[in-house]
Amino acid sequence: MKKVLVGGLCASLIVGLSACNSDTPAPKAADTTKTEAAVAVQKALSSGIDFANFDKSVRPQDDFYSYVNGTWVKNTTIPSDRTSSGAFYDLREKSRDDVKAIIEEVAATPNLKAGSDEQKVADLYRSFMDVETLNKLGIKPIQGELDNVSAIKSKDELVTYFARSQIVGGGTPMAFYISVDAKDSSRYATHIWQYGLSLPEKDYYFNQDERFVNIRKAFVEHIEKMYTLAGLASPKASAEAVLALETSIAEKHWDVVETRDSTKTYNLYQVKDLATLAPDINWDGYLATLGANKQADIIINQPSFISGLNDVIKNTDLDTWKTYMQWQVLTHAASSLSEPLDTENFEFFSKTLNGQEEQQPRWKRGVSSVNNLLGEVIGKVYVKRHFTPEAKTRMQTLVENLRGSYADSIESLDWMSADTKVAAKDKLAKFTPKIGYPDRWENYDKLAIKADDLLGNNLRASQLSHEQDLEKLGGPIRTWEWGMTPQTVNAYYSPTMNEIVFPAAILQPPFFNMEADDAVNYGGIGAVIGHEMGHGFDDQGAKFDGEGNMRDWWTEQDLKEFSIRGKALIEQYNNYAVFEDLNVNGELTLGENIGDLSGVTIAYRAYKKSLNGQEAPVIDGLTGDQRFFIGFTQIWRAKIKEESMRNRVATDPHSPAQFRSLGALSNMPEFYNTYDVKPTDAMYIAPEKRVKIW
């Protein structure tokens, strides 16, 4: 029931000191002079660095990421049931193991009270693990929805069914949701977002490169197999009809760069005027079915998509639309149905599209199911077992140190006017940090969970989530809500809430190490904190003020200067080659790249400030600055299947892991000083071309 509408954060890292070839310049030597206090710190705390991951054959000045992580990358084999491995992804596996232990302990408890949270956890997990029952049921769990589709008699009823499908967790060409109004953060507003595609992004429907042609061919074959397994009529013809209609829908979609533009996607319409945008869409029936027909206005994120969808609805015959909606019912339910359907669903979406060799063990997917539907029930126990008050206190200190350093950095900017600095610092002061877990937990009393009804459990959870969202309309902003559970390895920033959120599960090594000294923690979790703060001042977050309202708080000249720096960062990342035929999309990743650069820059400043003018101790032969940069690069350690990486480059606003490290550090003068980077070194960028935003 936890809905996450924010971007996430991943991880991977780099280090360097004594591993240079004799004919190359070495990093600056560590000063071995130590005060008695520094010696005490060294004895008490570790460096927090895994030296076994280093590749000493790589010069840190040329490729700091490979220097720190190269041996790990060479020696790591991605597990067959995954598409990636690395600091971020491995912590997710650990979190899943921890949650599994909680679930199994609950499930082993006799005589659980009906309707209790414990009963719901146990029976939800049982419903997922009971493959025998799922196989006996076949497609019976979705037969009612398939009948609903068959009963559609007009285009008006079709649009009404779009709303029904949304409520029960099915597919629909347009996605309805409720969130804080970006221009009035004191209220919740209804929104519509483009949707309705099975493939990752619109380009997959039109690109004529061999890879995309093969994907489309495999997609049609997959639909045909699914229809055959489900015993539905005309599998081959239906598959071709679905691809054709999805292609028509994809043609109207905005691309991934346009959709991350918060200015372009804010379009407030009066409900009474929707007919002028899309006259053939049954707005009255659609909104009434959703329970949102009493709202006077609605935000249409991509208006041209809606007007385009209107034409697709008008020009496509009803039977084809019914075939498409039949497919939406089947594909969205597939992982909760019989083994043959579940397996075929995996074969296309995980294996063909993302290169995953084997399906995850069922218990892993069962744990994910419980996390998705009953996340905060598990979260309460998870926090008690795996998150200490000491960790929260130390994190709170880090956050405030980062906030103070961000304010100092804003004040020192030579390109920003005094008026804009005042507004920026006001926004920074109003950041709300959330650390570890919610102060108020979600209530699941109204959710009925049955041990023999997996799909029904999902349907009821989706319905309840929709009802809870509707309750927000007209009410106060729920500042206590979290968009992630405590056991989620991630972090986020919400521009309309102006909050930075760090779930408990990310507060572990290599991000956060209670046994390590401050340098590696500032380089790790400090950079993550700075990254999320940085989202408040990236190319989109900078459009929002301290109250969470999208408005112009910049002077015209300051905005021009900010834009110049953003364009330079776009150009830098556009030149990073992921594969010989594929580069990073600098426009798509701009916000995250600003977050990474701002994060590590401010974290470094906060680390230096935390030393109170004292010299950092040398630990494991490394200076504090060296440990800081290694700590930052460690968190980006990652290895990803090529198929999955290609999909991510097309759709993910985050740059691939190695460039999150290399791109940010190549702009930091402090990194150049620490590792004596020269113009002849691969990571060198001329001073006048280095980007400093915050």
Report the CATH number that the domain containing residue 582 is assigned in CATH.
3.40.390.10
Does 165 share its domain with 66? Answer: no
- 375: number of Cβ within 10 Å: 21
Q: Is the residue at 542 inside a domain?
A: yes
Does 527 share its domain with 598? Answer: yes
Q: Is the residue at 502 inside a domain?
A: yes
User: How far is 520 from 532, CA to CA, in rounded Å?
Assistant: 18
Per-residue pLDDT at 23? 31
One-letter-per-residue 3-state SS of 284-347: HHHHHHHCCCCCCEEEECCHHHHHHHHHHHHHCCHHHHHHHHHHHHHHHHHHHCCHHHHHHHHH
Per-residue pLDDT at 44? 62
- The pTM of the whole model exceeds 0.75: yes
Task: Point out the domain boundary residue: 296, 317, 336.
Answer: 336
| 89 membership: H or E segment, kind and range | helix 87-107
8 A C-beta contact, residue 559 and residue 416: no
Does 401 share its domain with 317? Answer: no
Q: Is the residue at 580 inside a domain?
A: yes
Scanning 347-417, the segments in alpha helix (DSSP H) are 353-354, 362-386, 389-412
Q: What is the pLDDT of residues 89-148, one digit of tens each?
A: 999 999 999 999 999 999 999 999 999 999 999 999 999 999 999 999 999 999 999 999
Does 207 share its domain with 284? Answer: yes
pLDDT category of residue 287 using cuts at 50, 70 and 90: very high
Task: Point out the domain boundary residue: 303, 319, 336.
Answer: 336
Q: Is the confidence at residue 17, as pLDDT, over 80? A: no
Number of folded domains that form the chain = 2
Does 429 share its domain with 322? Answer: no
Does 54 share its domain with 164? Answer: no
Q: Is the residue at 68 inside a domain?
A: yes
Residues in the chain: 694
Q: What is the pLDDT of residues 250-283, one digit of tens each?
A: 999 999 999 999 999 999 999 999 999 999 999 9
Q: What is the pLDDT of residues 28-72, one digit of tens each?
A: 333 433 444 444 444 467 999 999 999 999 999 999 999 999 999
Can you give the CATH number for the domain in which 320 is found? 1.10.1380.10
Does 426 share its domain with 563? Answer: yes
Longest pairwise C-alpha distance within the chain: 83
Does 495 share its domain with 601? Answer: yes
Q: Is the residue at 96 inside a domain?
A: no
Q: Is the residue at 194 inside a domain?
A: yes
Does 407 share its domain with 493? Answer: yes
| 480 membership: H or E segment, kind and range | none
Please report the sign of the dihedral spanned by the C-alpha atoms of residue 207, residue 208, residue 214, residue 220. Answer: positive
Q: Is the confidence at residue 2, as pLDDT, over 80? A: no
Q: Is the residue at 344 inside a domain?
A: no
Does 168 share its domain with 55? Answer: no
Q: Any idea which residue has 């046994």 for tokens?
A: 515
Q: Per-residue pLDDT averaged across 573-577, rounded?
A: 98
Question: 223 lies in which domain range?
Answer: 139-336
Per-residue pLDDT at 45? 79
Give me the percent of the chain exceeding a pLDDT of 90: 93
Does 292 share its domain with 394? Answer: no
Task: Point out the domain boundary residue: 295, 316, 336.
Answer: 336
Mean of the per-residue pLDDT values of the chain: 93
Q: Is the residue at 607 inside a domain?
A: yes
Q: Per-residue pLDDT averaged across 5-23, rounded?
A: 26
Burial class (CB in 10 A: 0-12, 13-18, 19+), 88: buried
Per-residue pLDDT at 598? 96
Does 31 share its domain with 171? Answer: no
